[in-house]
Each structure stands twice: as structure tokens, then as C-alpha cells.
Structure 1
Amino acid sequence: MNAPPAFPTLLSPIALGAHTLRNRTLMGSMHTGLDNLDRGVERLAAFYAERARGGAGLIVTGGFAMNLEALLDDHGPQLITPEQADALRPIPQAVHAEGGKILLQVLHTGRYGKTAQLVGASSIPSPINRRVPRTLGTAEVWRTIEDFVNCAELAMRAGFDGVEVMGSEGYFINQFTTTRCNDRTDEFGGSMANRHRLPVEIVRRTRERLGARALIMYRLSALDLVEGGAPAHEVIALAQAIEAAGADVINTGFGWHEAKVPTIAYLVPRAAFRFAAARIKRAIGIPLVISNRINVPEVAEDILAAGDADMVSMARPFLADPDFVRKAAAGRPDTINTCIACNQACLDFIFTNRPASCLVNPRAGRELEFMQMPAPTARRRIAVVGGGAAGLACAVTAAERGHQVTLYEAAPHIGGQLNLARAVPGKEEFHELVRYFGTRLDQEGVQVRLGQRPAAGELAAAEFDRIVVATGVRARRPGIQGLDHPKVVGYAELLSGRRQAGRRVAVIGAGGIGFDVAEYLLHEVADGGSPPAAEDEVSAFLTEWGVTTAPEVPGALQPPQPPRSLRSVTLLQRRPEKPGRTLGLSTGWALRARLEQRGLQTLSGCSYERIDDAGLHLRVNGEARLLEVDTVVICAGQESENALAVELRGVGIQPDVIGGAELASELDALRAIDQGTRLAMAL
């Protein structure tokens, strides 16, 4: 007898208007930047087709502007002419060939735009954009509505199954719906009905123009998370009006881009905003999609089975693993390469004008490039020394390609520096990455030899065809008098649990590791206790960041209530600028804010003199200081651990050296996994 499916609700079909989806997963919209590259449409077709092949029920593209005023920047995607529509045909064709369905997102950025023709509901600038928008006249708003409809019509010409109208995240439509940036006095401002007129007319006219065959999804801001945002009754009223106007399904978004509450970073608990989606679901008759920080099928199934939503949107999880659905359907969720919400290669790449990819899956967005890599011509015997991020990626990929791989790891378990990362509160998702690699090693038959540090002679005697050295890094010891004092603790000793810190701590080094150590130290709060259950974790997160579930509160904001830490921590930096500049663009601000709320002190322009019983003696911008601390944690950089590579060269073997062994820097899993994967593909 066949076992029942592991995720029966998630994997069940669902009717959306005239369409039936094969399951209840949505690959949500995200900017990829692939359209700006050579062969952009071909790259996007390959990118989306791979996700459709892996089982995604419905896919939404990144946003396309419907007129020049709507562009995010001068090079942003646009769909304005029939010729542009015809050029996009390969994208839906590729998705349909894999049994999937795909919508084109119609996006007007409004006051978030970075162009000279910036427009908005009112001439009120965004705090994250120095440009001041020009207020659209009433006739211009009606013309923009027509532009939305024309774009939807062009999407159907291109072969898409329909459109998503982007009305969330603080973009143009969302700017009209709230009083935060709409002070108009015409038919598009003032009363709630007037502020809702723009999205309602867009959906109503799109349905009239396209007829019943087009799938229309509206992206609704379920929580604005900004002052002057909408209270729940206005959000629900808009959802009901959008349903009446002819939408087939409502997708949810959480938080404007200018919100001071993190919504997708790793420190946000899974499904943290489920409560807001659930109350909209109860108020409408069409299907509702929930989004944000849902990255494993177990969480998705729980939400759907409880009736809190009808579909689950996962954008970055489909970057991490295009076969997410196929693996869940096979009853092997342990083989899913889980999104760890780091944002390093997706959002942070986009913010720095690089095409998006994924830290845990460097093939994402590079499908054409990897497709063109040559297939292995013979089965090779390969030794990989080092079971950190680089070595694991190399070993798994090489074995996947048919090579016979032996992985050596000196520690009693795999993971290397990943194990330090997953010890940091908020970075628990790194557990998933280590779990994934462990499962894949077993699946691909890699011989794993733990607790072994092979010498060059041993490797030479084994006559491997290739030897990969991925032995990682060791902590750098700065030249400070008293470094051997009992007060001094290395970051690896601390994060591994081998050493403890006192109540008063100085952290030397304000790079990513220093901030991780500060988070680790300050996370122990006065109420203590065991790790919270998932619902308690969400409640604590909402309380700390000032988010209320009370439906009557505009924008869902209340005063933040950070917990009181048991420790006092001072983070020290040699450079004179403000610490934290090297942190991720999309996550660093939230980490800095949380640590400040918990009492972190920072000092820049530091030079260190000595450590003794009194504490840490230093100079801050030339002025002598004494920090009377119990513990000094050293986070002063790393050095490559590459002695094995030197030894191998000494016996006439030229190894491949990757990861930290090749270049010591911050604990850079992004570079390590990419490098390990690419080397294995080239073997």
C-alpha cells in the first residue's frame, strides 16, 4: 500500500479563475537583474523553466513597468510596446513546456524610482530616496490606469497566463492607498474609497479588457509597518473591493521598503506575519496567498492545513532549490537545499547592480552558464580535504557528476565554520545548510572520513587523480600584550561553546564575525529560560520590533520593547568610521538596530595596548581608556590554513586550493560554495 503524501494540502491542486494549478506553491516575484545581461530573455526563460520543471505551481516574474514613469531605474524591465511583448514569448513558452504557469508582474515604483521622471500620489519623498516625486494630475492618474491595463494586455500577447498587479511593499499603488504619502483632494485622495479607487479601477478595467481567461492576481499590503499605514479594516476593505473588481486571487506582502521592521531577513522567525494573512483570508471568498519567511514544506503545510491561506509564496526558496516541490512530493524534504534568508547573493547583489544568485545554490540565475560546462569524460578519484562550506560544495557536486569522492574532515562532524555561524541566534537556518550537505553526501555515496587530517604523503600514496585542499582558516592573533591572559577568548572558542564569557565583555574586531559575537553575547536576556517554541519566538519578535496584532492600529506599529540583556558588550574597531559598514545591505541595518536596542556600545579609532587583570587598556582616537571587562573576545580576522597545500607541492602534487585555504577573509560561505561548486563542475 502506498503511503499517504507527506504534504497533502500543499501538493493538492487549486482552481484560480479559469486556471487549475497542479499544487499550491507560488514562486513569488523578485528582481533578478538577468534582463540587463546579454541574452537576457534566454537567461530568464532558462531560470523560470528550471523552477517549473521542479514543480512550482505558479511563477510570477520580476516587475515590468507599464510606462516610463514607472521604471525603477533607467535600465529596468518594461512592457510598453507589442515588439517588447513579442520578445518575451520564450519565457512563458519555456515554463509551459515544463507544465507550469506564469504571470507577469505589472509594477509602478512611484516615489521609489531612481529616474528623472519620478511621480507619485503626492510630492512627498520617501525616506529611502532623496528624489522628490512630482504629483500626478487627476487626468494623469487615469492615463496611468490605462497603462496598467495595456501592459496586462501585452502580457497576454506574449503568452503569459495573466498578471500580478503590484499593490504592496510601498510602491506606487500602495502609496495611493494610505494617508502616509497621499494628501490629494481629488477623487484619488481623502476618503478610504477614494484612496482605494486606483487599485480597484486597475483590476476592474483589466478584467473587462482581458476577459475571464486571464489570471489576475493582486499583491496586497497586508501590513504596511510604517507610520500612517493602513489599519486592518482598511486592508480588508481593499481586499474585498479587489475581489469584487474581478481578481482571481490575492497575494500578500508585508512591510514597505522604508519600514524599520525586518520582514525577510534571517532574524525574522518563519511565518512571522501569518496572523495578518489569516484575518484577510477569513474576510474574502477568493484564494489568498501567504508570503515571507516560509522556506520548508512543513511550515507551508501547517499554514494551509489550518486554513490560514490557500497558497504559499516562496521566492528565495526557489532560488535555493528549484526542485523544492519535486523533493517534497517524493517524501524527501531532507534533500531540499533550504533558503537560509541571508540575502547575500539575491537582494544584496541586486542592490549593488549585480544579477541575483543564491549563496546556497550558485547555479541560480546562472543556468545557461552551468549548462554550457562540459560533461565529465571519465570517472575520477578525488580527495577533498576539509568539510567546511567550500569542501562540502565541491565534494557533493563532484560526486553528483559521477566522480568517486573521499572527503576528509579533521573535526568529528562536517560543517567547519558553518557550525560557528549556526550558533549565532537568528542564524539557526545554517542548521539547514549543514543538514542538506550531510544528506547529499550520503545520497551521492561520498566516503566521509571524520576526525582525520591526512598528511601529504598519505594522500600521495592513495594515488588520487585530483586533490582539493579546502582546509579553511584559523583566527589571526593580533599583536596585543597579554593575549594569553585568562580573560581572552577566541571567537571560535566562544561560538563553539568551549569557553564562556563574563557579564562585561569587550569584542575586538567589528567585522561580520564581531557583530555575530555581539549578537551571541547579548541574546542571553534577563528572563532566560529554554529556547522558545515557534509561536513564542514569533511573539517575542513582534514585541521586540514593535509590531502589534491589534487590527485597529494604523500600520500595525506599537513602541518596540526590546528585552534586557544580562551582559554589557562593547564592540571595538581600529578604523575611525562607524562600525557595521561591511554588513549586508539588506540585513545589516536590522542587526545593528537590534543590537543597539539591546545595549551594544561601539568604539571606533581604537588601538590596543594590553590586557591584564584590570581589563583592556586601549586608546580611542589617541585618548587613553581602560575597559574594566571580564572577557575580551578576539575577532581580529583570519589567516589561511593552507599548510597541506604547501606540503603537497613539496612532494610534486599540485592541489586545487579553494575557500578560506585559498583566501582568508570574513567567514564567506558565498564565495566558498560558489568556488567549490565551480571547481567540481570543471573537473
Structure 2
Amino acid sequence: MSDRRGRTFEKLLSPIRAGVHDLRNRVIMGSMHTRLETEANGIERQVAFYRERAHGEAAVIVTGGFSPNAEGMFDPEGPRLDDPQQALSLKPICDAVHQEGSLICAQICHAGRYAKFEGCVAPSPIRAPINPYSPREMSEQDILHTIEDFAQAALNAQSAGFDGVEIMGSEGYLINEFTVTHTNKREDKWGGSADNRHRFAVEIVRAVRDRCGPDLLVIYRISAADLVEGGAPAEEIAALARKIEAAGADILNTGIGWHEARVPTIAYPVPRGAWRKAAANVKAAVSIPVVASNRINTPEVAEDILASGDADMVSMARPFLADPHFVKKVREGRAHEINTCIACNQACLDFIFSDRPASCLVNPRAGREMEFRDTPSETPKKVAIVGGGAAGMATAAEAARLGHAVTLFEAENRLGGQLNLARAAPGKHEFDETLRYYTAQMDRHGVTLRLGCRATADDLAGFDHVVIASGVTPRIPDIPGIDHPKVATYAEILCGAREAGQTVAIMGAGGIGHDVAEFLVTHPAEANENAAFFDTWGVDGQFRNAGALAGDPLAAVPAKRKVVMLQRKTSKVGQGLGISTGWILRNALRKHGVETLAGVVYQRIDDGGLHVLSNGETKVIAADTIVLCTGQEPVRTLVEALAARGISATMIGGAAEAAELDALRAIDEGVRLAQSL
């Protein structure tokens, strides 16, 4: 983490030519599925969403995927571009983006065997492990019709005002399925040799260019590392890139990993810029601009990739959820004010997978732009906030931005609260950026900080509004021996106040329990260095091997300690973790030899260890250290004292409801409360 003041980021801000278009900088806002189109006022919400990102000066904005036909939809309600009239309904989105000076491209994506309905299609009838539906093998007529559908969809997009299209050829969707032997077992001219497997992709690009002419910006998203067995080796990827360039593409954007891959690609355990060399391999093969993508979330990382020559442009998707004004802040010398994507996936991908429109943990306004205001308060108030964790900082920053006079009291000598514990978990050091952002915002908008001050009722007298954001404290269960010297709370372990022994029992297997387990078994370098990440997950760091794999992604790796994680629930351990990240954490712990035990009854703790009842049998979990991850209690010590003084207060975050370390809810509540003052 750096302050960024004084840096110019010249390469990032420099213009570049792509086809017949001059782009104002090197930044593409990558495609994201937002589900905004499913809302009753979908067009209006999309206009607000994309306008804000264009105002933030992304050179090119790529929409979420539109199917070229009925067979290619993600689900029966998915968006399509095969109807010219439906395409024209998107014109207000294009107009809004153009008014702010950016270009906009519609992504055309055929889901292939990932489509969630009967009748999905693929080059060969091989079911995807993440989809219950088995695909039908496409006939030659199906293939030719689909090529035509891509061309017509591109023309429909062009007629609606889009400057270009991105043809989705990566992430395991239909085009990608044709290019590799993992999913293409055909023996006709669309399978077999690399030339035959590439034919479908090349013919689609050629058809789009022929149909739409030279003015359409054509981006092809190429899979630069499939991360599945039977994926493409580097020489085939380079050959495909050259063919796509010859067929008429203006830009090659790089995609990383299939959705079924057992290697994490965009979540927080992945180091920043981990995939840049995959883009560099593609760039070495062609002369058109090549885009690096995935886990590029700061201007420093982006600038380094561009300056090194690994890529000509960078694609950032979720960073524009976190901060739509990313590029504008860089240009204005305010890069230190960027609200950084922490790659948590909690409000973007996890919302999408649970049929909710995407948003962002660190920016609740994302996808909800019409629900918030930017105009200063007409009746500024004197506001006191007790607690400098996520909820308190979010409230303070937003309230001060809207013109209120804010004083924040924090009992510790530093801001962060529970974030200081969360950021200790491997990969979650990204929360450092969240702390940096809120510190910068509170400084800019004049928040008075009272650090090292445990607020009293006297301190809070005279304020117009008091907000209690005092957070949580670990819950201590009532079992014999809970005060044994072996016992430590998760807070003591994560903050470094206690050092765990070589054998550890963790009581509780929720999100905190999993974070503590990974903290205890992972060597520090594994969370931060590319080489160690690639070794852990079996990735070829040179991206030369087939599928860029160098081993089994699930193979065991050495662990620092022996850890057993227990829970009272009889359900599967880790079942309540994030939809898109839970599998990563479960696999990481399994690789490090962490044992799990569900359905236990805690009996007592003594010198022998943790005594439990499991399946009707008493067991002793021998452990040097027993870590309590048994929930939290709200900290509300001030509430009664304030009530006695007749001072009303609003409780938010953990103080209102102690549930895990829920920064998503805390920040959302803080921002919305500030808006309501």
C-alpha cells in the first residue's frame, strides 16, 4: 500500500489507437454480469451505472454478456442481442456513455455448455461439472447458424449505438469450448487439429467484421490460460491470436481460467497482477493491442504492467464497482483517494449467483446509483460517531462529504476495528486499502478524529445525532475449562497477542474459523508471492503448458501446523461460506491438511486438550492451543448511559447485530445512515 501522491502514471493515461478509434487512455472497464437488466427499471438503472463509469473516464466500457441467440443464454431470462428492436432499447445506455466521452462495446457471449437449461449446446456432448444439464452436440448447420447469429448480433449492437463488440472467446464458454481438446472431440472440420478447433472462432470474427465494416471496434477475448486439463498450450494460443488478428479483430483481451477450473483466478487469494505473463505471451504473437486482465486493482499494478511491455492496455471490471472514478482520480492526481477493490466477491459475484443485482462491499452505491444523492445536506448536523471500524468510518466519511460536522471517537489508537483482524488473514491484506481510502476521505472532508478516546456520555452531549458503531467482541462459551491457559480468542491470534502452538483445535467453523485456520497453516509468502501461489495451485508460471497447469491444483502442500476445526452444526463444514470463494478456502485448508469435525458437543477443556462428544463417542482433541471462533457479542456499553441522559443514538454494524465480521453490512448501513441524516 502506498500513498500515491505525486505519481503521474503516464503510461496508464496515454492514448492508444485501436482500429479506427483513438482511445483516451489504456483502461478498459471489463465485462461484468450485473443483472441490472432484470430489474423493472433496468434500462434506467443501467444508464445510471454505465454513465457513472464513463464519467470516471474509462476509455472503453464493455457491457455484461448478451447472447447471440436463444441457445446461448445463461438462463431462460438472460439478455439477448438477436432482436433488432430489443437492441435499440439499449440506445440510451450508449448515449449516456458517449456524453461522458467514453466508448462502449457490447459483449456477445454464447454460454455453450454452461447454459442453465435443457437443450444447451456444445461442440461435443460433454456435461460441464458445474452444470446439471448435458449439452447437445452441435451439427454443422447449428455451427453455421451460430456464426451468422454472432454477426447479426454485432450489427444489431452497432445499429443501437455501440461503438464495438467484444466476442467472448474465453472462460469456458462456447467459442472457448471449440478451441481445446478438453471439450472438443469432433472429427469433422470443426475439430481435431488446432486449425480445425480454431475455425469457429476465426469465422465468427471474420463474419462480424464483414457484416459491420471497419468502423466497429472488434475486441476478441482470448483464453490466455485455460487452467483445465486438455486446455491450450502457449503455441496454440499464440497461433489462435494471429488468426484472430488476421480475421479483423482490433484488440485482444485476455481471459484467465474456466469457470470449472480448480484454480482461483480473481478472488483475494490471487496475488495482484498474477496473470500478466499470460498476456505477455499473447502480446508477443501479434501487433494489435493486447489487454491484461484479472486482479489488477491499483494504478501502480496497472502502470507497471504497461510500462514493462507485458500488455498495451489493462482491463479492470470489479475495480470500477469499487470506484467508478478510478481513472479520473488518477488523472487529477488523487490516486490516493481511489476506493480499491478487495477481491472479496461478496456483493458482486455472490449476489449474481444468488439472483440479485451486483453491488460492491466497499461501495454500496454500485448498481444502486439511483438510490443515493450527492447534494450536500440542507440542514447540516453535528454528528458524533463512536467506533472507528468499517461501519463508523463509512458513516463518518459519507456524512462529512454531505456537509455534516463529524467527530469520530475510537478507543484504540488506530482506525479499523475488526478490519484489523480480517486483514491478518492470508490474502485479506487488501483491507489495508480500505483503511487507506477511508482515512483519505475523512481527512479530505474534515472529520475530527479522537483516537485513543473511549467516549463517555459526557463526551456525546451536545451533538445533534449520535451513532454507535462500537462493533463486537468475541463470545466466550460457557464450558468447563474455558479459562485454561491453552485457550485463546480469534482476536488474540489474529492481532498477534497470542502465538499458537504446533497443534491447534479451532472451536467454530464459520468464516472466522476458516480464516484463522488458513492463518495458522499458511506460510506468509503463500498469500503474497506469485511463485508460491502458482506452486500451491499447480499453475505453470510461464503459461507454456497445456492449460497452463504444472500439477494437480488439489495436491497437498506443507503446512505450518496441525489444525483441527470443529463445529456444533451437523451440516457440511464451510457450507455457509461465500458462494464464489468458499470452494477456494475449503480446498486451501484441505491441501494444508486441516481436519474438520461436525456435529460435536463441547464438554470441557483441560491439560489433555478439548474433550468433545462426536457420534455418541467421547474424543479428546489434543492441542497446544484452542482457539475460540464461537461468535461475537455486540459492544453496547454506552447505550444505557446515553438513554439515562436522554441522548438518542442509532446503532449500526456489529453493535446493532453481532454476526461474523460483516463488513458488507457495516459499510452499507453506514453509508445509508449518513445519507438519511
Q: TM-score, normalised by structure 2?
A: 0.97
Mapped pair 1:384 → 2:385: yes
Cα separation, partners in 2 of 1:5 and 1:426, compared to 1, 3 Å: closer
1:617 and 2:618 are equivalent in the alignment: no
User: Deviation at 1:375?
Assistant: 5.2
* 2:438 corresponds to: 437
Gaps of 5+ in 2: none
Using the alignment, how far apart are the partners of 2:92 and 2:527 within structure 1? 46
Specify the alignment match of 1:491 in structure 2. 490
Query: 1: distance between equivalents of 2:574 and 2:103?
Result: 42
Counterparts of 2:425 and 2:236, CA distance in 1: 39
Query: Helix, strand or coil: the match of 1:10?
Result: helix
The answer as to whether partners of 1:51 and 1:318 remain within 8 angstroms in 2 is yes
More displaced stretch, 350-359 vs 117-126: 117-126
In the alignment, which of 233, 236, 244 is matched to residue 235 of structure 2?
233
Q: Which letter does structure 1 place at the counterpart of 2:333?
A: G
CA shift for structure 1 position 374: 7.5
Q: 1:545 aligned to 537, 559, 563, which one?
A: 537
Equivalent position SS for 1:428? helix
**How far did residue 182 of structure 1 move?**
1.1
Deviation at 1:387? 0.4
Residue of structure 1 in register with 2:41 after alignment: 39
| Distance in 2 (alpha carbons) for counterparts of 1:661 and 1:195 | 58
- Match of residue 215, structure 2, among 213, 216, 224: 213
Deviation of residue 4 (structure 1)? 8.6
Partner residue of 1:528? none
Question: Under a length normalisation based on structure 1, what TM-score does the superposition of the two structures give?
Answer: 0.97
Displacement of 1:533 in angstroms is 11
For 1:164-203, list aligned pairs within 5 A.
164-203=166-205
Match of 1:27 in 2: 29
Partner amino acid for 2:401? E
Tell me if the contact between 1:200 and 1:241 (Cα under 8 Å) persists in the aligned partners.
yes
1:318-372 CA-partner distances (Å, limit 9, x unpaired): 100011111111222211100000000000000000000000000000011114x
CA distance in 2, matches of 1:138, 1:225: 28
Partner of 2:477: 478
Cα separation, 2, equivalents of 1:622 and 1:29: 52
CA–CA separation in structure 1 for the residues paired with 2:560 and 2:155: 59
Q: Which residue does the alignment assign to 1:290?
A: 292
* Matching residue of 2:669: 675
Aligned sequence identity (%): 57
Match for residue 337 of structure 1?
339
Alpha-carbon distance in structure 2 between the residues aligned to 1:375 and 1:330: 22
Counterpart amino acid of 2:377?
P
Which amino acid is 1:69 matched to? E
Determine the structure 1 residue equivalent to 2:513: 514
> Which digits, 9 at most, give the CA deviation of each residue in 1:444-469, with x for residues without a partner?
11000001111123312xx1110001
Aligned alpha-carbon RMSD (Å):
1.4
- Displacement of 1:276 in angstroms is 1.2
Aligned to 1:590, the other structure's residue is in SS state: helix
Question: Which residue number in structure 2 is paired with residue 652 of structure 1?
Answer: 646
Alpha carbons of 1:532 and 1:32: their partners in 2 closer, same or farther (altered >3 Å)?
closer
For residue 482 of structure 2, what is the amino acid of its counterpart?
L
2:549 & 2:243 partners in 1: Cα distance?
25
- State how 1:345-494 maps to structure 2 within 5 Å: 345-371=347-373, 376-460=377-461, 463-494=462-493
CA distance in 2, matches of 1:158, 1:428: 43
1:557 aligns with 2:557: no
Query: Aligned with 1:435: secondary structure?
Result: helix
Stretch of structure 1 that moved more, 552-561 or 605-614: 552-561
SS at 1:396's partner residue? helix
Deviation of 1:617 after TM superposition, in Å, equals: 1.0
Instruction: Tell me, in whole angstroms, the C-alpha distance in 2 between the residues paired with 1:532 and 1:167.
Output: 31
Asked if the contact 1:543–1:562 (Cα under 8 Å) also holds between the matched residues in 2, the reply is: no
Write the distance in 1 (CA, Å) between the matches of 2:146 and 2:441. 50
**1:173–1:199 contact (8 Å) kept in structure 2:** yes
Deviation by residue 1:472-500 (Cα, 9 ceiling, x = unmatched): 11111111111111100011111111111
- In structure 1, the gaps of 5 or more residues are 526-530
- Report the residue type matching 2:546 in the other structure: P
Query: Aligned partner of 2:636: which letter?
Result: N
Distance in 1 between the 2:233 and 2:466 partners? Answer: 61
The code of the aligned residue for 1:256 comes to W
Map of 1:573 onto structure 2: 567
Distance in 2 separating the partners of 1:602 and 1:73 = 36
> How big is the shift at 1:557?
1.2
Distance 1:5 1:643 in 2: 45
Which amino acid is the alignment partner of residue 502 of structure 1?
G
The 5 Å alignment of 1:245-324 reads 245-324=247-326
Deviation sequence 1:260-282 (CA, Å, 0-9, x none): 00000100001111111111101
- State the distance in 2 between where 1:295 and 1:362 align: 18
Deviates more, 1:330-339 or 1:538-547: 330-339
- Once residues 40 and 643 of structure 2 are traced to their aligned partners in structure 1, the CA distance between those partners, rounded to angstroms, is 40
Shift of 1:115: 1.9
> For residue 119 of structure 2, what is the aligned residue in structure 1?
117
- Aligned to 2:580, the other structure's residue is in SS state coil
2:503 aligns with 504
Say whether the 8 Å CA contact 1:424–1:520 is kept in structure 2.
yes
1:620-662 Cα distance to aligned partner (Å, 9 max, x none): 1221001111100001001111121232122222211100010
CA distance in 1, matches of 2:499, 2:581: 27
* Matches of 2:391 and 2:543, distance apart in 1: 47
Deviation at 1:552, TM superposition (A): 4.8
In structure 1, how many angstroms separate the alpha carbons of the residues matched to 2:551 and 2:157? 44
Q: Is the 1:545–1:562 Cα contact (8 Å) retained in structure 2? A: no
Contact 1:71/1:115, CA 8 A, preserved across alignment: no
Which whole-Å CA distance do the structure 2 matches of 1:234 and 1:544 have between them? 26
Residue type at the aligned position of 1:624: T
Moved more, 394-403 or 615-624: 615-624
SS in 2 for 1:9: helix
The answer to whether residue 637 in structure 2 is matched with residue 643 in structure 1 is yes
Please give the alpha-carbon distance, in whole angstroms, between the structure 2 residues aligned to 1:542 and 1:518.
21
| Equivalent of 2:11 in 4, 9, 18 | 9
- Verify the 8 A CA contact 1:28 1:59 in the aligned structure 2: yes
The answer to which of 551-560 and 235-244 deviates more is: 551-560
| C-alpha contact 2:169 2:201 (8 A) present in aligned 1 | yes
Within the candidate set 577, 597, 615, 2:591 is matched to 597
Verify the 8 A CA contact 1:108 1:172 in the aligned structure 2.
yes
- Once the two structures are TM-superposed, the CA of residue 426 in structure 1 deviates from its matched residue by 1.2
What per-residue deviation string (whole Å, max 9, x for no partner) do you get for residues 537-559 of structure 1? 10110111001135552111122
Partner of 2:132: helix, strand, or coil? coil
- Do the aligned partners of 2:345 and 2:580 also contact (CA within 8 Å) in 1? yes
Report how many aligned residue pairs link the two structures: 671
- State the one-letter code of the partner of 2:341: C
Distance across 1 between alignment mates of 2:44 and 2:21: 26
SS in 1 for 2:85: helix
User: In the aligned structure 2, how far is the partner of 1:330 from the partner of 1:569?
Assistant: 49
User: What is the Cα deviation at residue 192 of structure 1?
Assistant: 0.9
Aligned-residue offset at 1:8: 0.5
Amino acid across the alignment from 1:555: G
